Structure 1
């Protein structure tokens, strides 16, 4: 028989456990999602629910009975502004690392110990800390929407310190001499690709999507207005840069303009929409085919930096630009970085400051080339020349 109370009711079931029912703000009766071993626990639950309703914090547990897998899929589908590549990554993370473990769990039953056990299972099964951090951040974002926007949960159970942090290995930074040497090691068709990527601080998707109309080799300016994204099951998708800050005009160091002009003349069609960097057949270069198309592994092996990634060229260019003494705001604008102050960076970084960065980098490149041409001590200064014979 149910015990009479001022709010809600408690009934002892045949199993010996206690079942709780109570009226919601709409007057409709709800049943607690779990039964209780002791009546005192059931009492405390009803007191908590009543207090939440009085404070306006109560959440209908029936609304949170949707499974995490269904809710996360709906979250990805309905999330505004996601780029195709991001959607692909999120669906892959969900299907590979989240749904197999937590997909069938109702949102209302998720708690921090369960999330902690899930993360430990990922790491225990050989998933890297970097990939586990990506999956954790996705899960946290999904559940944050359930808390703040849909009000299905009172708090986010993703509360594991440090679980969102990646610990990637330190990437190599090339010196000016190494960048110039790498360009020389490349096939003639791809020398300008190395120089432009490095000294204009471009992402792979940005440099691979450049068209002739985006390059003013006389003024020394490259306009970044689109990017290629590789989407699983779809292919190359041309779209806008990853953020508003990515839309930018970048001044090219004068020292590399001759190489860029030679490239345009030799390998790029006059059509304004012709891609600047392509395969010999004129097709876009895929990131996955980079080694096969341009011989990347062979070149970096000869350079003596076998672990170098193509993206490290941008990293090296950013580092070289930072050494010119430019302000953080100027560097952020040149690199196309976004942040909490993205609007301020995008609106106030001036083209004069950007040209100053390009000129400083150009001067450094010229100095490095001059140093490389300087004859060794005691030499004649002529190729293959010999010093004087000692008496």
Structure 2
């Protein structure tokens, strides 16, 4: 009776069959759609767009018609095993399905969560990131057009995400004799052909990142020559004065990376590079999480990488 009352409260109850008409079964699709609607105010637009894609293209085509209370661990395991080899997408889709069923458990619609495939939510890298040295970051910046050199330096020594970089305003930088830092207060994402600017990825991503003091004169010169006018002007505007698109920067970035001997370098690898430099400089795990804007120690661990030179230094050190 308590379970039936809970279904009534959630508007999921259907009366007993009084005739031959089929019962309106609460399927995975119906409940997932309800969950998606109810989470509108909790998730950012980009997250909702991704979740919509996982539901429509990965989860619901096979599992949508299954009655919610009938989905078993074996069903989920077979579904996951049948997916094409897209590790990150599959891990995210599994995590989303597990989250939806966690809510169903809380709603007392199912006795247990059937999403219990071991390591299914673990993301495995398809492309191993590249961590540049400080000298390589400076070389890469020098190879870029003048208006993008500071962009590469802030990314490589500050570890900001692309969306955080492109949304930066002049007022986000503190460039005094005693302080050289940047405050991340917003981020930009591109959705359906236009940019959307909003809060960063998480509360932890709203942070102030100290920058090497050697960057101060470079940033001052950049503001004078390339930033949009006014305190609220974009720090790294496109030629159209709009937000900068990564496709605009990518060709020159790839040429510069190839000249360095890293033809597979991605712009996001500058964030990996900064994370590695922070760790090698002696940052504690807590320091690292704050600098990178991470919410978990596991995420910080994913972004730190050793280098051959660092390994050689450590090995030589154990002989002494």
Q: What's the TM-score once normalised by structure 1's chain length? A: 0.67
> Would the aligned equivalents of 2:289 and 2:297 in 1 still touch at CA under 8 Å?
no
Partner of 1:70: 30
**In 1, Cα distance between the equivalents of 2:200 and 2:236?**
18
Any residues of structure 2 matched to 1:11-160 within 5 Å, and which? 65-79=25-39, 80-122=41-83, 126-148=84-106, 150-160=107-117
Which of 246, 255, 260 matches 2:205? 246
How do 1:179-198 and structure 2 match up within 5 A?
179-198=137-156
Unmatched tracts of structure 1, length 5 or more: 1-21, 32-61, 342-391
CA distance in 2, matches of 1:25, 1:174: 59
Give the Cα–Cα distance (whole angstroms) in 2 for the partners of residues 221 and 291 of structure 1: 26
Match for residue 180 of structure 2?
Answer: 220
The CA distance in 2 between the partners of 1:279 and 1:308, in whole Å, is 22
CA distance 1:217–1:103, shift in 2 (3 Å): same
Structure 1 runs, 4 residues or longer, greater than 3 Å off: 28-31, 287-290
Residues 319 and 30 of structure 1: CA distance in aligned 2, closer, same or farther (over 3 Å): same
CA drift of 1:108 comes to 1.6
Displacement of 1:161: 0.8
Q: For residue 75 of structure 1, report the CA deviation from its aligned partner.
A: 1.1
Q: Are the aligned partners of 2:151 and 2:236 in contact in 1 as well (CA < 8 Å)?
A: yes
What is the match of residue 224 of structure 2?
A: 265
Structure 2 CA distance, aligned partners of 1:98 and 1:263? 47
Alignment pair present for 1:178 and 2:139:
no
Q: State the Cα deviation string for residues 77-96 of structure 1 (Å, max 9, x = none).
A: 21242111100000011111
Residues 127 and 106 of structure 1, relative CA distance in 2, 3 Å threshold:
same
SS at match of 2:190: strand
- Larger RCO: Structure 1 or Structure 2 (Cα < 8 Å, ≥ 6 residues apart)? 2
Tell me the residue number matched to 2:266: 309
Equivalent-residue separation in structure 1 for 2:97 and 2:72 (angstroms): 12
Cα 1:205–1:302 shift into 2, 3 Å: same
Aligned to 1:5: none
Measured in 1, the distance between the counterparts of 2:285 and 2:271 equals 17
When residues 322 and 109 of structure 1 are mapped into structure 2, their CA distance, relative to the original with a 3 A threshold, is same
Whole-angstrom distance in 1 between the partners of 2:139 and 2:15: 76
From 262, 278, 290, the equivalent of 1:321 is: 278
In structure 1, distance between residues paired with 2:62 and 2:194: 29
Deviation at 1:327, TM superposition (A): 2.0
Shift of 1:25: 7.3
SS of equivalent to 2:154: helix
Instruction: Decide which structure has the larger Cα Rg and report it.
Output: 1
Equivalents in 2 of 1:184, 1:270: separation in Å?
24
Q: Please report how far the alpha carbon of residue 251 of structure 1 lies from its aligned counterpart in structure 2 after TM superposition.
A: 1.4
The alignment partner of 2:115 has SS state of: coil
1:234 positional shift: 6.1
Q: Tell me the alpha carbon deviations over residues 111-165 of structure 1, each in whole angstroms, 9 at most, x when there is no partner.
A: 111111111211xxx33122111111111111111012x1110011111111111
How many residues were matched structurally? 281
* Alpha-carbon shift at residue 277 of structure 1 (Å): 0.6
Q: How is 1:352-371 mapped onto 2 (pairs within 5 angstroms)?
A: none
Q: For the structure 1 residues 25 and 129, does the alpha-carbon distance in structure 2 shift closer, same or farther, using more than 3 Å as the test? A: closer
Alpha-carbon deviation of 1:330? 1.8
SS in 2 for 1:154: coil
Root mean square deviation, CA, Å: 2.4
Q: In structure 2, what is the equivalent of residue 339 of structure 1?
A: 296
Deviations along 1:17-41, one digit per CA (max 9) or x if unpaired, are xxxxx9x877x9968xxxxxxxxxx
Deviations 1:331-377 (A, max 9, x none): 21121111389xxxxxxxxxxxxxxxxxxxxxxxxxxxxxxxxxxxx
